Amino acid sequence: MLFTFQNITYTLGTGPARQITVSGSVSEGGVLVVRGPSGAGKTTLLRVLARLQPCDGGEVFLQGESWLHIPSPLWRVGVHYLAQKPALFDGTVADNLAKPFETKVGSKHRLDPGQAKALMQELLLDANLWEQDSRTLSGGEAARIAFVRGLLIQPHVMLLDEPTAALDDQAREAFYGVLSRWLTGPGRAALLVSHNNDYKVLDRVSFLDIGPGQRGE
């Protein structure tokens, strides 16, 4: 298995404690679809797996290596969370795409503008967006720019939180085309949260159901 999480235990909300425990895994080239009603804890699970927030227990393995042995910033290069609400910084699209390479762990590589622009084109994004202020992007444009930025980081695992929610049919098809090709590379897999069934275009899909009283496999 490329990516495995065992007995990940986390608490939802601040009211009466709702604690859930989930386990799951995804093999190279595979996609694990995380399902459950709104508020079930899907986003929280992805954020925990990316180490963007703490959990109460459990262990995660990337290519057999426990997260206990990998510093968080490095972990987040290998396990990339694509937020439900695209997280872009102030600045142009180009600034946003370059940002990951300015961090300590990202500084080994540089932004390849040619590669970035090719991905933008495949995702049906106008080349003129390159110099546009990221705050002025439409919701669907911002979602795709954040996806491009994630791809450029070259993670092993993409944690995709409703990545197509703001996309029209054409852009959605383009998104899955790029994702499918990305998955054919070595050492890659994805977790996906989606409220519609558009992931059916993907091969090698498995499921993890979470929610009240449920325990994932």
Ligand X SMILES: Nc1ncnc2c1ncn2[C@@H]1O[C@H](COP(=O)(O)OP(=O)(O)OP(=O)(O)O)[C@@H](O)[C@H]1O
Q: What residues make contact with Mg ion under the rule CB under 5 A?
A: 42-43, 84
Backbone angles phi, psi at 115, to 5 degrees: -65, -40
CB of 39 to Mg ion, least distance (A): 8
Judged by beta carbon, residue 93 or residue 158, the one nearer ligand X is 158
25 touches which of ligand X, Mg ion, none (CB within 5 to 8 A by kind)?
none
- Does residue 40 belong to the site contacting ligand X (CB under 6 A)? yes
Q: Report the C-alpha dihedral over residues 95, 97, 102, 106, rounded to 10 degrees.
A: 180
Cβ atoms within 10 A of the Cβ of 198, count?
Answer: 18
Instruction: Please check whether residue 80 is in contact with residue 112, taking contact to mean a CB–CB distance below 8 angstroms.
Output: no
163 touches which of Mg ion, ligand X, none (CB within 5 to 8 A by kind)?
none
- Does residue 22 belong to the site contacting ligand X (CB under 6 A)? no
Judged by beta carbon, residue 39 or residue 177, the one nearer Mg ion is 39
- Does residue 150 belong to the site contacting ligand X (CB under 6 A)? no
Cβ atoms within 10 A of the Cβ of 117, count?
Answer: 17
CB of 29 to Mg ion, least distance (A): 25
| Of 10-18, 68-76, 101-109, 173-181: span binding ligand X (CB under 6 A) | 10-18
Distance (Å, whole) CA 25 – CA 150: 21
Judged by beta carbon, residue 39 or residue 113, the one nearer ligand X is 39
CB of 31 to Mg ion, least distance (A): 17
β pairing state of 189-193 and 65-66: unpaired
CB of 42 to Mg ion, least distance (A): 5
Backbone angles phi, psi at 187, to 5 degrees: 65, 40
Distance (Å, whole) CA 32 – CA 24: 8
Where do contacts with ligand X occur on this chain (CB under 6 A)? Answer: 12-14, 36, 38-44, 84
